[in-house]
Amino acid sequence: MDLTQVKCSALLMMFLLASVVDGARIGPVEKNTIYGGLLARRFLRLVESPETIIDYHNGPVMEGSNGTLPVYVIWYGEFNETDTAAVRDFFASFSPAADGSVTDVAKWWDVTTRFKDATGASVARYVTLVGERNDTYSLGKNLNNSNLEELVQSSLSAFPADPNAVYFVMTAADVQVEGFCMNSCASHFATVPSSTNELQLPYAWVGNAKDQCPGMCAWPFAQPPYMPAQADMPLPPNGNVGVDGMIVHIAYMLAGTATNPFNNAFYQGDAAAPLEAGTACVGSFGVGSYSGYPGELKKDVITGSKYNANGVNDRKFLLPALWDPDTRKCSPLAV
């Protein structure tokens, strides 16, 4: 594997009364991975951790094209229209409406625009889904990390090679991905330039955990296997544990990729196991969050589902807190 490839990774493990962040031992090539919601939260707060400070390492952020970050999605496996529509509406919620009003999703994203690199460029204010591609198991149902890059490479027959864009590989519930449910729920990477027209293309992978590990990768909508049973697990706002869990991780990866696309911009700690704008706050969705509790959330009076963000087409989403470089704290959406 070409060592110019950038991958970022964090294996999150919980010991007795405190959680520990440990880097994946994968040599000089790194990746950035998020595993579950609870595993990175301080357990019962009996052990206090140092203040989270995300440092700048002199690399670029993603300013997009004309202030907009293009997104291309590769749907790998079988997804139904109801599920893909929820993700499309999430991406559509970043742009202002015709009357100039903005959604809660856009307000959530505003935190990322406060990250500026050495050139003075800031993260793109808007995010737009500009292309989609369906792939029905061209590489089978068991993928490794190299296969994810292959899927991005093959998508360039339909998509442009755009270093200012983010390419998402979304894997269906019956697809196994290297490390999925063992040490990762989602990851972001960058392609080897020699394989993509001499351009380094940022891309991310997010898996549907509905059938494989919902308690790990779709929390807080599913019961984690290592926590006491809870009778009041929040209902997912779009009615699908797997897809609503995916949207949470799409949000994590989008924020992480935009602020640290090549693993040399904004992160805390070892580059082999960085904490980024989203993963520094993993498990926190509302004010007052702590281990096992996502924080104060809104409740849909009709469905009883929990959420914190309104989007287009009357959509509701649960979005994670982001680390705010102005306040230097995790900033959840206000309820």
> Which string of DSSP letters, residue by residue, matches 2-33?
-TT-EE---EEEEETTEEEEE----TT---EE
Residue 273 pLDDT class (50, 70, 90 cuts): confident
Site of tokens 């109801």: 82
CA distance 73 to 158: 11
**R_g (Cα) of the chain, nearest Å:** 18
Strand pairing category for 18-22 and 266-267: unpaired
pLDDT of 14 above 90: no
- Report yes or no: 227 and 292 within 8 Å, Cβ to Cβ: yes
Name the pairing type of β-strands 176-177 and 142-143. parallel
In three-state secondary structure terms, 266 is strand
CA distance 287 to 290: 9
Q: Could you give the maximum distance between any two Cα atoms of the chain, in Å?
A: 53
% of the chain at pLDDT higher than 70:
84
Domain ranges within the chain, ordered by starting residue: 6-331
Q: pLDDT by residue (tens digit) across 192-235?
A: 999 898 999 999 999 999 999 999 999 999 998 877 776 678 99
pLDDT tens digits, one per residue of 299-329: 999 999 999 999 999 999 999 999 999 999 9
Other CB atoms within 10 A of residue 240 CB: 20
